[in-house]
């Protein structure tokens, strides 16, 4: 194994640990907005993992998948924030 292989393995390990810790917070999150932020963080971590995989393989076939996952995460977070804003406005 080369040094670069060790870097890839350590990067995937750190991304995996990040997903596990974020999933823990997703389950324990006290509010809905905490869970939405966790889902956004997981989508960012998934896009990062796909980017590392693209770097490992040297193939750009997954770039469209990266853009799609990033856009879905962004739109989902934006929709939840708008919903929370309207809910807070209706209450207050």
Which pTM does this prediction carry?
A: 0.85
Share the mean pLDDT of the chain: 91
End-to-end, the C-alpha distance of the chain in Å comes to 60
Alpha-carbon gap, residue 41 to 68, rounded angstroms: 15
Residue 67 has what pLDDT? 94
Domains in the chain: how many in total?
1
Domain that residue 28 falls in: 3-91
Q: What mean pLDDT comes out for the span 76-80?
A: 90
Residue closest to 38 by CA, chosen among 63, 30, 82, 52:
30
Residue 33 has what pLDDT? 85
Give residue-wise pLDDT tens across range 33-54. Answer: 888 899 999 999 999 999 999 9
Residue closest to 39 by CA, chosen among 84, 80, 85:
80
Residue 41 has what pLDDT? 95
Give the 3-state secondary structure of residue 77. Answer: helix
């Amino acid at each position: 194994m080369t040094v670069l292989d060790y870097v890839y393995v350590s990067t995937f390990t750190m991304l995996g640990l990040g997903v596990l810790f974020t999933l823990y917070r997703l389950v324990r999150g006290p509010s809905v907005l905490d869970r939405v932020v966790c889902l956004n963080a997981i989508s960012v971590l998934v896009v990062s993992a796909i980017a590392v995989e693209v770097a490992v393989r040297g193939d750009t076939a997954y770039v469209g998948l990266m853009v799609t996952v990033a856009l879905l995460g962004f739109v989902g977070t934006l929709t939840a924030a708008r919903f929370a804003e309207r809910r807070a406005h209706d209450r207050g």
